[in-house]
Chain A
């Protein structure tokens, strides 16, 4: 998808707010800038130098734990931990990563993927339909329905986990994908509705009206006009939900008891409480678990940031 297509519908929801944001943010972070360093010794030069040093310092501080995680993950198990800790192992190895690809971990990955993909499909579909309905039809009570949907974000997951567990047990659904997806949907449908609402509102209703004047039914107009135009919004929402669902821990911990049904985060947390934590294996598995979401994030980052800001900057 090219940049113009991706960027444009995103700038619209905010221009609709009637604020001065619109033109300035068309492609906020990606705008290329000419950087004037100034001549050495000038005030501007010194300022740039100080700011760049600060920038590097922040990057170093934030990246340090991550680098350390990687460094420990490639440390041979027999290389003793240097005390005090050393930042890079003498003989790096990938042996620790074998743990992350043992059958049980492969099963965790499978579970996580199945549950994440299903949750995202369900939530984006339900959210898109609801957002479209609320933004295009002004029926009595719709405002309250929207509030009902969005306010669900405020209900703490910890509050509903106890009754949800009871319901799941009653219907004999412990250790099933259905239970996990059902629980995840409580988090994702409200978020998806809210995010997609911003994107749907940015699509001018005139486009569908034109299609309907040409003889399309409402459903055809939705499918053939609105859905394609909402694609960047759907992508942004999906990436956001993927980040949320891939790391979900509380529901997965509560609703699965058998090893076979664990998701990746729960599987990882099993490392704790094992006789002395094998940090090398743990860090290798941690890196392996983070890679899918990092890769996804890397490629879809633009949508992701758009989604993040659509959710918050909108207000």
Chain B
């Protein structure tokens, strides 16, 4: 990797002046980058800048010209209890989904890594929820949780765990837990596949050495396997955090953020503010705050990436 530099300059065509060849290479280098830079710049960063702009300028009733209001709009939003509900929901949702997906993903990966039969078929079947379109998964779970017709109540009833039907998605006390379970089902295969690939990189000799030294299964897992895939665990937690924090489809279809805002997270609330109530200014404030919260995560994420991936 470090000798990439040699591809430039080192092999300038004979005869042609070195600087001409080099300039041509540079031209190619830059023009190859342009499409991606223009698309990402124009469609991600320009709108992002626009969102920030919209939050510090406001159109007042008296003038059509936007007035600079500084952080006034942020102060207003931070003073509402709804904002803090959305923050709390986002944290509860993200932390629990990420934890459950990673624990389940790792546990199942460890199970599948034990020389079982039909590994390929098993992996294909377990990946299906992840390939299933988000809207389909959301509609399916909405139906699963249906108080009268749903499978969840039917199963719990026949197991004797509940005595009368529960409207899982319609009461503030259970709605969040219900969507978290659905998200676990939908998203764990991602972690599972990543961890399955990671487990195959663990040095077998080390595990054998630990066995010879008398380490039990749990000890081998804890002191040999986990340390050797620790980097991947950290990276995967960060990735799933970003996915989960931004995940819109499931909650929007299942509950629309209700009941009583009990499942509103940033993406769903931003959408409702913007396209339900046409409060574009407020929506942008929420949007910028959501982006800032992710930046905190992003800093960690990039620090994870830098040593080996991105340079």
Spell out A's residues near B (CB within 8 Å): 16-17, 19-21, 24-25, 28-30, 33, 35, 51-52, 54-55, 58-59, 62-66, 68-69, 72, 81, 83-85, 122, 125-127, 129-130, 132-139, 142-143, 145-167, 182-183, 185-186, 189-190, 193, 198, 201, 205, 208-209, 212-213, 218-219, 243, 246-247, 249-250, 253-254, 264-266, 268-269, 271-272, 277, 279, 282-283, 286, 289-290, 293-294, 297-298, 301, 305, 308-309, 312-315
B interface SS class: helix
CA gap between A284 and B42 in the complex, in Å: 40
On whether the beta carbons of B283 and A65 are closer than 8 Å, the reply is no
On whether the beta carbons of B136 and A135 are closer than 8 Å, the reply is no
Which of the residues A58, A133, A209 comes within 8 Å of B29, measured between beta carbons?
A133
CA gap between A155 and B112 in the complex, in Å: 35
Return chain A residues, CB-CB under 8 Å to B48: 155, 159-160, 163
Q: A132-B32, A250-B248 are in contact. Are A158 and B26 (CB under 8 A)?
A: no
CA gap between A264 and B135 in the complex, in Å: 9
CA gap between A64 and B119 in the complex, in Å: 19
Does B208 belong to the interface (CB within 8 Å)? Answer: no
Which of the residues B41, B50, B114 comes within 8 Å of A51, measured between beta carbons?
B114
A interface SS class: helix
CA gap between A283 and B274 in the complex, in Å: 30
- Other contacts beyond A84-B157, A159-B284, A272-B139: 6, CB < 8 A: A33-B119, A130-B33, A139-B30, A159-B48, A193-B36, A313-B232
On whether the beta carbons of B7 and A58 are closer than 8 Å, the reply is no
Q: A59-B122, A158-B248 are in contact. Are A152 and B45 (CB under 8 A)?
A: yes
Does B143 belong to the interface (CB within 8 Å)? Answer: yes
30 A-B pairs whose Cβ atoms sit less than 8 Å apart in the complex: A29-B200, A33-B119, A51-B111, A62-B128, A66-B140, A85-B149, A126-B36, A129-B35, A137-B28, A138-B4, A149-B40, A152-B44, A155-B45, A162-B274, A162-B284, A163-B284, A164-B43, A166-B50, A167-B47, A182-B43, A186-B44, A212-B13, A250-B249, A254-B271, A268-B135, A268-B136, A271-B139, A283-B140, A301-B124, A315-B308
Name which of B5, B11, B131, B235 has the most chain A CB atoms within 10 A of its CB: B131
Name which of A127, A208, A209, A250 has the most chain B CB atoms within 10 A of its CB: A250
Distance to closest chain A CB from B267 (angstroms) = 4
Which of the residues A35, A58, A246 comes within 8 Å of B117, measured between beta carbons?
A35
Return chain B residues, CB-CB under 8 Å to A264: 133
Does B72 belong to the interface (CB within 8 Å)? Answer: no
On whether the beta carbons of B194 and A136 are closer than 8 Å, the reply is no
Q: Within residues 17 to 59 of chain B, which ones have a CB less than 8 A from any CB in chain A?
A: 24-26, 28-30, 32-33, 35-37, 39-41, 43-48, 50-51, 54
Q: Which residue of A lies closest to B204 (CB)?
A: A24
On whether the beta carbons of A209 and B11 are closer than 8 Å, the reply is yes
CA gap between A151 and B294 in the complex, in Å: 11
CA gap between A153 and B245 in the complex, in Å: 12
Which of the residues B6, B30, B266 comes within 8 Å of A156, measured between beta carbons?
B266
CA gap between A35 and B115 in the complex, in Å: 7
Return chain B residues, CB-CB under 8 Å to A315: 231-232, 235, 304-305, 308-309
Which of the residues B239, B249, B310 comes within 8 Å of A247, measured between beta carbons?
B249
Q: A83-B148, A268-B135 are in contact. Are A136 and B47 (CB under 8 A)?
A: no
Which of the residues A143, A148, A164, A249 comes within 8 Å of B311, measured between beta carbons?
A143
Which of the residues A65, A247, A301 comes within 8 Å of B144, measured between beta carbons?
A65
On whether the beta carbons of A133 and B287 are closer than 8 Å, the reply is no
Q: Which residue of A lies closest to B234 (CB)?
A: A315
On whether the beta carbons of A162 and B283 are closer than 8 Å, the reply is yes
Return chain A residues, CB-CB under 8 Å to B231: 315
